[in-house]
Structure 1
Amino acid sequence: MSSGSTTNSISIRSELLPGDLGYIAYLHGKLYAEELNYGRNFEIYVLHGLQEFAAAYDPAKDRVWICEHEDKIIGFMIGMNRGNALQLRYFIFLPEYRGLGLGKKLVTEFIAFAKERNYSSAYLWTTNEQQGAISLYTRFGFTLTEEKESIAFDKPLVELRYDLQL
């Protein structure tokens, strides 16, 4: 997809609609299996987290960013209330929509929302395999605060926590 036609025709909505969370679970399971060889346990992890988010969802404290192009979800991110912190979760784009600046736009909006809602910090978990995303997070000031070896997603990797003080 050429960048000239994309960003103008991509919309971002913050209203959570029926079917959104199921599609995001599907997308995570499918893309992470294809691109990183993650197993079924990763999809289970995503489903549990999305269920937790849905059960406690409060638009005053939580936010979704759903990127759509031609009536199709092409990207997604959640800001999940964790008391004084906002957790960034489920940040994903279809491969053909990566590299267009959408990630930068969503992280910018995530930080603005966190500040607007008076969160004192933000954090996220990722893995050592997500170097592109890590580069984006660190450009916004997130710093590595924890790392742990894991086989939770059916393969050896290192889970990484990044924090941002607001």
Structure 2
Amino acid sequence: MSDPAAAAPIVLRTQLRPGDIGRVVLLHGELYAREHGYDHTFEAYVAEPLARFAQAGSPRERLWLVERDERVVGCIAIVEAAPEVAQLRWFLVDPNARGMGLGRRLIGEAIAFAREQGYRSIMLWTVEDLQAAAHLYRAAGFRRIARKPGRAWGVDVVEEQYELAPIPLADEARPGPAPA
């Protein structure tokens, strides 16, 4: 017997609805607490710039949400770090939706959007423990440019900065498998 949730269609959307910002914060807070031991201050770290993003409504910034069974199971965003530099933020795929190519698809959407908006490069910050995400970043052409050990969100972390510069033209973009 097949799992009905496995056959549920995946919906990728950028039109924000009431509750979406809170869901992104909740997903990050719960997932990072469960998988990495982060405390409640991580939610504030996500919530504050996410609220600014939602209030600004800049056409050069975008948040993608992945839904399955009308539940948000993934997200990613491009925000403006500087006039020619985009920042990739809030990348997350729920453990129950991993292994379907959603992470690769989200990163591809974010890179394509940044290119369309005229950004010359994309930067991001992550932590060393997120090896699966780092693998996807490197596969998309990002390279690590900085490492910084420290303490944040109630745990010891090694923050890492990645950069994609210049953003490849559409025909130079690294192909990835299409999600089912």
Q: Contact 2:38 / 2:155 at 8 angstroms: preserved in 1? A: yes
CA shift at 1:4, angstroms? 6.6
What does residue 91 of structure 1 align with?
91
- Paired residue type of 2:162: Y
User: What is the TM-score normalised by the length of structure 1?
Assistant: 0.92
Alignment of 1:140 onto 2:150 = no
Q: Contact 2:5 / 2:69 at 8 angstroms: preserved in 1? A: no
CA shift at 1:52, angstroms? 2.2
User: What is the TM-score normalised by the length of structure 2?
Assistant: 0.85
Q: Percent identity?
A: 37
In structure 2, list runs of 5 or more residues that go unmatched. 168-180
Equivalenced residue count is 163
- Paired residue type of 1:71: E
CA shift at 1:2, angstroms? 8.4
- Paired residue type of 2:79: M
Matched residue SS, 1:156? strand
Alignment of 1:17 onto 2:29 = no
Alignment of 1:53 onto 2:53 = yes
Tell which structure's C-alpha radius of gyration is larger.
2
- CA displacement, residues 106-152 of structure 1 (integer Å, 9 cap, x when unaligned): 11111111111110000111000000000000011101111111211
Q: Contact 1:3 / 1:100 at 8 angstroms: preserved in 2? A: no
What does residue 76 of structure 2 align with?
77
CA shift at 1:154, angstroms? 0.9
What does residue 7 of structure 2 align with?
5
Q: Distance in 2 between matches of 1:139 and 1:69?
A: 25
**Alignment RMSD:** 1.6
CA shift at 1:57, angstroms? 2.5
What is the correspondence of 1:94-113 to structure 2 with a 5 Å cutoff?
Answer: 94-113=94-113
Alignment of 1:67 onto 2:66 = yes
